[in-house]
Amino acid sequence: MEKYLGIDVGTTSIKGLVVDENGRLLDTYSWPLKMDIPKPGWAEQDPNLWWEGVLEILRNVSLKHTISAIGFSGQMHSLVCLDKNFQVIRPAILWCDQRTTQQCKKATEIMGGETKVIEKMGNPFLEGFTFPKILWIKENERANFNKIKKILLPKDYIIYKLTGNLGIDYSDASGTACFNVNKNTWDSEVFEKFEIDISIMPDIYLSYDDRGELRNELKSQLGWNNCKIVSGGADNAAAAFGIGISKKGESMVSIGTSGTVLTITENKKPDLEGKIHYFNHVLENKYYYMGVMLSAANTLNWVRDHFFPHSSWDEIEERINNSKPGSNGIIFLPYLNGERTPHRDPNARGVIFGISSINNENDILRATMEGITFGLRDSFELIKEKTEIKDMRIVGGGAKNKTWIKLVAANFKMPIKIPQIDEGGAYGASMLAALGNGQNLEHVLNWVKIKEIIEPDDNLFEIYDELYEIYKKLYFSLKQNYIQMAKFLNL
């Protein structure tokens, strides 16, 4: 029997899971990670900690299983810099890091304005993307910049450590802001204009391409002499594939550390306003629109950890259900670390609005969940303007909370499907491993089963439509205050 291992190099953990040739989940493994926050709005991790976690997972897997192929999923955009000996130069700058505002502005001007950038790259230069991070290092850490021989993204660093192969897949490449979506390759113009050697970029592979075998010392340690390593894909693309998202109009809402809404499209036109992203899917010649909020489940985790540290998640959900829809007048803006869709504002911060003496802690918790859901709705409404949304499936930690799924269904006004296996990018990575090992696409997609469908409660439509309009206006009423506070904090 063939067995496949999917590994997701996430932000807060590394996850591994073993499946058989029919997609049956055999075992799961995890390794915790923490972000370093050197300054407000910054976020870094040591890539060697990813490698330590992956090695531990591989060793544990080898005690029970012989693996035929390993596929990968990983956090998008995060920058790993390697020197001439392919050693890590500095901590990885993560996808949620917001330090590159000035580099984004300057790059946009030099490239002829945002519309021209989006027409070529599919997306504007955004703080979280990879290329602005390279520019930041060039301007602020010249000694480190001069050492750069190759840049990689997180999952590809792990693939290098496993195989010695340097590369990236198309889904991750399309999120770097230096990949030409029209030519499907690195954009030579952007490297020429900024006097950066394009050779620092890795070769590009399909997400199910064979990237080689394990290094000999790992073969000896693990006992896997014929194990293929498959490219894998960007976390959201892999997670979408992991719940069967492969055709036009099929969509995913993911409530993890960040929050995303993703829809496969046949419309090969980026959003020229730059509010939603346009990326390559893990399947060849497939593309998707995606909206991203930077802090989704992470926001609810923050509220719980700081104000309800002794409450279980069951107790948190009970508290939320003891507050009525609308949270007795409280609206929560979930911008703890800035926001991407739709505001693209690194200065935005969280706000509890409307609190009064009638409110209690249950209202605060419900308002937090409602505010995150409104943030997801921002992305949903924008994508719906660009392409048809036929089918919506949910993944992530938030998908384990029925109350939250009901809120999403009421705000999106459509049924939400819950997959039988919700293991995020790691399950999609195992499906890509199976494709890379010779299984056909139709068979692999048949791994995906739907466990339950949550229908929207139309009694909530009017309530949430009205609150959502207030939610949207609040940001714009506070925008100048965010700017002033950012200036104050930089004093």
- Contact partners, residue 450, CB within 8 Å, separation at least 6: 393, 417, 418, 419, 420
15-19, long-range: CB < 8 A, 24+ apart = 15/423, 15/424, 15/425, 15/426, 16/54, 16/57, 16/58, 16/61, 16/426, 17/423, 17/426, 17/427, 17/430, 18/61, 18/64, 18/65, 18/67, 18/430, 19/427, 19/430, 19/434, 19/447
Question: How far is it, in rounded angstroms, from Cα 301 to Cα 337?
Answer: 14
Using DSSP, how many helices (H) and how many strands (E) does the chain show?
17, 24
Helix (H) or strand (E) run with residue 51 in it:
helix 47-62
Which of 38, 65, 125 minimizes the C-alpha distance to 430?
65
SS3 384: helix
**Token pair listed for 21:** 């040739």
Question: How far is it, in rounded angstroms, from Cα 469 to Cα 420?
Answer: 34
How many CB atoms within 10 Å of residue 51?
18
Annotated binding site for substrate: 76-77
Helix (H) or strand (E) run with residue 5 in it:
strand 3-9
**Crossing angle of helices 101-110 and 114-121, rounded to 10°:** 90
Largest CA distance in the chain: 66
Which of 166, 149, 150 minimizes the C-alpha distance to 158?
166
Q: Is the peptide bond before 124 cis (omega within 30 degrees of 0)?
A: no
Question: How far is it, in rounded angstroms, from Cα 378 to Cα 87?
Answer: 41
Annotated binding site: 76-77
Helix (H) or strand (E) run with residue 293 in it:
strand 287-293
- Contact partners, residue 301, CB within 8 Å, separation at least 6: none
Checking DSSP bridges between strand 287-293 and strand 331-333, what pairing results, if any? unpaired
Question: How far is it, in rounded angstroms, from Cα 124 to Cα 355?
Answer: 37
Residues annotated catalytic, as ranges: 235
Checking DSSP bridges between strand 287-293 and strand 277-280, what pairing results, if any? antiparallel
Question: How far is it, in rounded angstroms, from Cα 57 to Cα 221?
Answer: 13
**What is the 8-class DSSP label of residue 328?**
G
